[in-house]
Amino acid sequence: MTSYPSAPPPGQPGGSDGGSSPFGTPPPAAGQGWAGGSPFGNAGTPVPPQQGAPVCPRHPDRVSYVSCQRCGRPTCPECQRPAAVGVHCVDCVREATKNVRPRTTVFGAKVQPGARPVVTITMIALCVLVFLIDMVDSSLRQAFTFSPASGRIEPWRMLTTAFLHAPGSFGIVHLGFNMVALWFTGPFLEQALGRIRFLALYLVSALGGSVAVLLLTPLELWERGAVGASGAVFGLFGAVAVVMLRLKMRNSSIFSVIGMNLVITFLVPNISWQAHLGGLLTGAAIAAVYAYLPKKLQQTGAIAGVSAIAVALILAAVIRYGMV
């Protein structure tokens, strides 16, 4: 058996008289921080770090022994950002981001890997929605279908007709073909050109298809309407061909698809070959502006080039109407 020395008598050092600790250390006074008392003191607020301890510049009440690899300042866990070696503070990460130039494609669009083709999805959704509404109420089609005769009074029909499709089984096939073609070409072009350029390509190609209908339709057939997104879709066909040539991508299948669709356009009845041809040429012209502009002029030049093509189409329509 092992014996232990007896505790000192009360009143002597190490005793238990007067509230002293039986182990010889007096209890800490209330609010003295971490030395046995509450770490929040009397008021329940954090106790300031010990003098000389490294603290986070953004959170001075937090001690941190981890330093930023760029600026060397202490950084708390909330302000730490993983880096290739060690960590960086949020301030250094923000400053580095400002100095990094965003990567762009050959055509001047920001590189956004994995970005959703928002414009493509929106165009498809609008065409499908309008078709469903038209099945319930045909007045929508009657109000927005383009014909050379109606376009003279309501020129906006040149664009609205690109979101309409004929009713019935033929219209379903027509809609399905156009939407599949749009889905196969749209995301590629939207990623390469950027959303704004792609939207301009789509809309101006639709306008080009309608203007071609106006210019190439005999006067006695001006009352005949033309609906469908085919003009815009053929504009995407033409743009894909130009973009692939610019990127030197060897893919003969796209040219085969374009040729096959042109053949179908002229062989199958009740198809507006004028809209297909006009959209194809307009889309190719716009894509050429995007693809072959000098790098310094990619932003302003694209706006000027597409605007010039749109103005030329409008002037052609005005001149044609003025000849009647």
Which residue in 147, 150, 230, 272 is the catalytic one? 230
pLDDT at 228: 92
Closest CA to 208 of 291, 323, 315, 322: 315
pLDDT, tens digit, 9 for 90 and up, residues 276-303: 999 999 999 999 999 998 888 888 999 9
The dihedral region occupied by 98, where left means phi > 0, alpha psi between -120 and 50, and beta the remainder, is alpha
Q: CB of 234 within 8 A of CB of 254?
A: no
| pLDDT at res. 247 | 87
Name residues of the chain where pLDDT drops below 70. Answer: 1-51, 99-102, 252
Partners of 110 in beta bridges: 104
Question: Distance between CA 239 and CA 235 in Å, rounded?
Answer: 6
Residue 212 and residue 275 in contact, taking contact as beta carbons nearer than 8 Å: yes
Q: What is the pLDDT of residue 258?
A: 78
Q: Give the Cα separation of 309 and 301 in Å (integer).
A: 12
210 is known as an active-site residue: no
**CA dihedral of 208, 213, 219, 221, whole degrees rounded to 10:** -150
**Catalytic residue flag (residue 307):** no
**How many Å apart are CA 210 and CA 233, to the nearest integer?**
13
Active-site residue (options: 88, 165, 174, 276): 276
Taking the C-alpha atoms of residue 210 and residue 277, their distance in angstroms, rounded to an integer, is 10
pLDDT value for 102: 65
Domains and CATH numbers, the chain: 53-98 (no CATH), 118-322 (1.20.1540.10)
Amino acid at 284: A
Amino acid residing at 30: A
Report DSSP letters for 86-113, one per residue.
SEEEHHHHHHHHHHSPPPB-TTSPBP-T
Distance CA 200, CA 309 (A): 11
pLDDT for 298: 85
CA separation for the pair 32, 38 (Å, rounded):
7
Query: What are residue 204's phi and psi, to 5 degrees?
Result: -70, -30
Q: Tell me what pLDDT residue 46 has.
A: 54
- Contacts of residue 225, defined as CB under 8 A and 6 or more positions apart, other chains included, come to 145, 146, 147, 150, 161
Q: Please give the pLDDT value at position 100.
A: 61
The answer to whether 195 and 187 have CB atoms below 8 angstroms apart is: no
